[in-house]
Amino acid sequence: MFDSTKILVGLEIGTSKVCAMAGEYNLNTGELKIIGVGQAKSRGVRKAEITDPTLAEEDVRHAIAEVEQMADAEVRSVLLGVSGGHLRGFNNHGVHPVVSEDREIGQQDVNDVIKNAKAINLPAENYVVHAIRQHFVVDGQNSIRDPVGMFGSRVEVNMHVLHGNFNRLQNPVRAVKGLHLGVDGLVFNGLASALSLLSNEQKELGALVIDLGGGVTEYVVYSGGIVKHTGVLGVGGDHVSNDLAYGLKVPLGRAEELKVEHGGAMVDETVLGKTITLDTDSGIPEEVNLEHLRRIMSVRLEEIFQLVEEELAQLGLLAYLRAGVFLSGGGARIPQIQKLAERVFQMPATLGGNRSMEGLNPVLDQPEFGAPLGLVKYGTFQERNRDRSGRLSKGLRSAVNGLLKRSG
């Protein structure tokens, strides 16, 4: 069969970079091979939301062109990663009475209960990005993965719903559509990072994934194999640069450089009282206090972690994170960030690194590729589901056709 592979492209329009990742998915074997990556510096995005559509579209075009060239394939549609401070996650609950005579739960009951759980009272301008199924409850019995075939009179389901402002979600979609590309689906970037970072065991044990992006920080909590909580904090690497620009009284571009070259998440003894000499345009060298630089960075990063920690503590989720904290995104490159996370969360912290895909080129196994890789991975799930439902509908269609033929 010649059409057994499909090109899946994940596109993340981030604050610091636009990244497209192409993967070749074999529909028959279920194998996924990453075949290309395209990147462009992002100029039209602030806090993970598009503020300048023209620039953003141009950057997306560059990234797509690059990935097409590298993968030697044409990109027709993408899986679009979305993020932004307006996204909110919460858990919802759906109930459905089992009506069949023998009280056996069928697929229809499961579909109904999920439908009930998806009926959420949200303002009209809100759009549900993800409704992720958690566990089923049958007659008060908890933690059931699949109730089909069980007996019971009442089936309930917990759902994690992630929703955001429709118009603001529409911006990246429009940028992509403007390039005559299709959108296969919207995926929350944090969830995508978690998909690429965590292995199944870690999802089972309980893990927190923090994606320290350029404009926002996304976090996802997995426990018992299901998504427990998701969230976005509108603070990211840009804020660190901005703080440095304020605190050290240097231009933003220079602050960005300083962050990359001399940054660190902790104030250790080696930097106390040290200064760095910079060359400036005016020719007069300028001195920057390294200790201040670290201190400013350290408090900002510490605050990001603390805000996440506070929220999880309020929800009582910290005790479930037995696999610890996983860091991805560009922020995971900051020296000693792991140590800082360990100190704030009081649990082991691990730097990004893909644990869910086999045979990945080590060049691509970087923390900042967590989300794009996850997007491709998400695409394979979608593909598998479509495959299954496609077959189902094919079967249905043939049955209907058969009926028609018989009657005719």
Partner 1 sequence: MIASNTSSGTGYEHGVVTKVIGIGSTGCAVVDHLTQSDWPGARFIAMHTDPAALERLQGAEECHLGKEMPPGMGVSGDPELAEGISEEDAERIREICRGANLIVVVAALGGGVGTGAAPILVRLAKEVGAIALGIVTLPFDCEGPLRQKQARRGFSQLKTNADGVICFPNQTILAYLDKHSSLIEFFNAASDRLVEAVQRLGRILLCPGFMKISFSDLCAVLQGRQMESAFVHLEGTGERRLEDAVSQLVEHSLVKRTRLGSPETLLVHIEGGSDLTMAEVNALIEKINHQFGEAQVVIGTSLEEHFEGAVGLNVLLSRRNFISDTGEPKGVSGGDESNERAGEMSQDLKAHYENQTVERSTYRFVPPPPVLTEERREKILREARDVPWKWQVATKLRPGYTPFEILSNGRFEKSEPTIHRGEDLDVPTYIRRELRLD
5 near partner 1, rule: CB under 8 A? no
Q: 181 and 68 in contact (C-beta within 8 Å)?
A: no
Tell which phi-psi region holds residue 199, choosing left (phi > 0), alpha (psi between -120 and 50) or beta: beta
Q: Which is nearer to partner 1, 174 or 394 (CB)?
A: 174
346 near partner 1, rule: CB under 8 A? yes
Measured at the CA of 368, the angle between CA 48 and CA 357, to 5 degrees, comes to: 120
Q: Which is nearer to partner 1, 88 or 295 (CB)?
A: 295
272 near partner 1, rule: CB under 8 A? no
Q: 129 and 82 in contact (C-beta within 8 Å)?
A: yes
Nearest-approach distance from CB 193 to partner 1, in angstroms = 20
Among 6, 33, 43, 46, binds partner 1 (CB under 8 A): 46
Nearest-approach distance from CB 233 to partner 1, in angstroms = 7
Q: Segment 363-402, which members bind partner 1 (CB under 8 A)?
A: none
Nearest-approach distance from CB 216 to partner 1, in angstroms = 9
Q: Which is nearer to partner 1, 278 or 307 (CB)?
A: 307
Q: Which is nearer to partner 1, 20 or 82 (CB)?
A: 82
Q: 79 and 379 in contact (C-beta within 8 Å)?
A: yes
Nearest-approach distance from CB 186 to partner 1, in angstroms = 20
Q: Segment 275-294, which members bind partner 1 (CB under 8 A)?
A: 289, 292
Q: In the chain, what is the straight-line distance between the N-terminal and C-terminal CA atoms, in Å? A: 34
Q: Quote the CA–CA distance of 118 and 297 in Å, as a whole number.
A: 41
Residue 383 half-sphere exposure toward CB, CA atoms < 13 A:
24
**DSSP states of 87-110:** -EEEEEEEEEE--STT-B--HHHH
Written as six digits, the tokens of 175 are 């940028």
Q: Crossing angle of helices 337-345/290-315, nearest 10°?
A: 40
234 near partner 1, rule: CB under 8 A? yes
Q: Segment 300-319, which members bind partner 1 (CB under 8 A)?
A: 300, 302-303, 307
- Distances in whole angstroms, Cα of residue 328 to Cα of each of 179, 252, 337, 372: 29, 24, 11, 11
Q: Quote the CA–CA distance of 304 and 323 in Å, as a whole number.
A: 20
DSSP symbol at 125: T
Q: Segment 136-195, which members bind partner 1 (CB under 8 A)?
A: none
Nearest-approach distance from CB 346 to partner 1, in angstroms = 7
116 near partner 1, rule: CB under 8 A? no
Nearest-approach distance from CB 62 to partner 1, in angstroms = 22
Among 5, 77, 91, 242, binds partner 1 (CB under 8 A): 242
Q: 186 and 80 in contact (C-beta within 8 Å)?
A: yes
Strands (DSSP E) along 194-314, which ranges? 207-212, 217-223, 226-233, 275-278, 286-289
Q: 317 and 345 in contact (C-beta within 8 Å)?
A: no
Nearest-approach distance from CB 296 to partner 1, in angstroms = 5
Element (H, E) at 7: strand 5-13
Among 51, 107, 108, 167, binds partner 1 (CB under 8 A): 51
Q: Which is nearer to partner 1, 8 or 245 (CB)?
A: 245
Element (H, E) at 141: strand 141-144
Among 22, 25, 47, 136, binds partner 1 (CB under 8 A): 47
Nearest-approach distance from CB 302 to partner 1, in angstroms = 8
Q: Segment 64-93, which members bind partner 1 (CB under 8 A)?
A: 85
Among 49, 66, 112, 156, binds partner 1 (CB under 8 A): 49
59 near partner 1, rule: CB under 8 A? no
Q: Which is nearer to partner 1, 16 or 336 (CB)?
A: 16
Among 17, 160, 163, 239, binds partner 1 (CB under 8 A): 239
Judged on CB neighbours under 10 Å (0-12, 13-18, 19+), 122 is middle
Q: Which is nearer to partner 1, 20 or 45 (CB)?
A: 45
Which residues, listed in sequence order, are joined to residue 209 by a DSSP beta bridge? 220, 326
Q: x/- site string to partner 1, residues 243 to 262, per CB under 8 A?
A: x-xxx----x----------
Residues that bind partner 1 (CB under 8 A): 46-47, 49, 51, 85, 233-235, 238-239, 241-243, 245-247, 252, 289, 292, 295-296, 299-300, 302-303, 307, 346
